[in-house]
Amino acid sequence: MSCKIKFAVVGLGHIGKRHAEMIRLNPDAELIAVCDILSKDQLGLGNLQERFFSSIEELFDAHLDIDVVNICTPNVYHAEYAIQALENGYHVVLEKPIALTRSDAERILYTSLSMSRDVFCVMQNRYSPPAVWLKDLVFKKSLGEIFMVQINCYWNRDENYYKAGNWHGDEKLDGGTLFTQFSHFIDIMYWLFGDITNIHGNFKDFNHSQLTDFEDSGVVTFDFVKGGMGVLNYSTAIWDKNYESSITIIGSQGTVRVAGQYMNEVTYCHVKDYVMPELPASNPPNDYGLYKGSAQNHHYIIQNVIEKLSGSGSITTNLLEGMKVTEIIERIYHVRDQHWKKKKK
What's the pTM value of the predicted model, to 2 decimals? 0.93
Residues 212, 217, 219: CA angle, nearest 5 degrees: 150
Q: Where does residue 63 fall: left (phi above 0), alpha (psi -120 to 50 degrees), or beta otherwise?
A: left
Q: What is the pLDDT of residue 67?
A: 98
| Rounded distance between C-alpha atoms, residue 162 and residue 72, angstroms | 18
**What span, in angstroms and rounded, lies between the C-alpha atoms of 291 and 163?**
13
Give the integer Cα–Cα distance in Å for 99 and 73.
11
Give exposure, 238-271, as e/b (b: 16+ Cβ within 10 Å): beeebebbbbbbbbeebebbbbbbbbbbbeebeb
Q: How far apart are the first and last CA of the chain?
A: 63
- Predicted confidence at residue 297, as pLDDT, reads 81
**Percent composition of the chain: helix, strand, coil (DSSP 3-state, to 5):** 35, 25, 40
- What stretches of 46-199 show up as alpha helix (H) in DSSP? 56-61, 78-87, 102-115, 129-139, 171-174, 177-180, 183-193
Phi first, then psi: what are they for 27, rounded to 5°? -65, -20
Cβ atoms of 305 and 93 closer than 8 Å: yes
Crossing angle (nearest 10°) for helices 129-139 and 183-193: 30
Asked whether the beta carbons of 193 and 147 are under 8 A apart, the reply is no
What pLDDT, on the 0 to 100 scale, is given for residue 294?
A: 52
Residue range 294-334, pLDDT digits in tens: 556 889 999 999 999 999 889 999 999 999 999 999 999 99
pLDDT at residue number 285? 59
Give the model confidence (pLDDT) of 159-193 as tens digits: 999 988 889 999 999 999 999 999 999 999 999 99
Angle value at C-alpha 264, between 260 and 268, nearest 5 degrees: 70
Do residues 10 and 73 touch, judged by C-beta distance below 8 A?
A: yes
Sign of CA dihedral 160, 164, 170, 174: negative
Q: Regarding beta strands 217-224 and 229-235, do their DSSP bridges make them parallel or antiparallel, or are they unpaired? A: antiparallel
User: Which residues, including other chains, have CB under 8 Å from residue 174's CB and lie 6 or more apart?
Assistant: 74, 75, 76, 167, 168, 180, 212, 213, 214
User: Could you give all domains of the chain from N- to C-terminal order, each with its CATH number?
Assistant: 5-121+299-317 (3.40.50.720), 125-294 (3.30.360.10)
- Kindly list the strands in the beta sheet with 217-224, ordered across the sheet, starting from the edge strand earlier in the chain: 196-204, 217-224, 229-235, 146-154, 244-251, 254-259, 265-271
Angle at 333 between CA 331 and CA 334, to 5 degrees: 65
User: Mean pLDDT by 10-residue block, N- to C-terminus, for the chain (345 residues)?
Assistant: 87 95 96 96 92 97 98 98 98 97 98 98 91 97 98 95 91 96 96 98 95 96 98 97 96 97 93 95 61 67 95 92 97 92 64
pLDDT of residue 124: 83
What is the three-state SS of 224-254?
ECCCCEEEEEEECECCCCCCEEEEEEEECCE
Mean pLDDT, the chain, rounded, equals: 93
- 3-class secondary structure, 313: coil
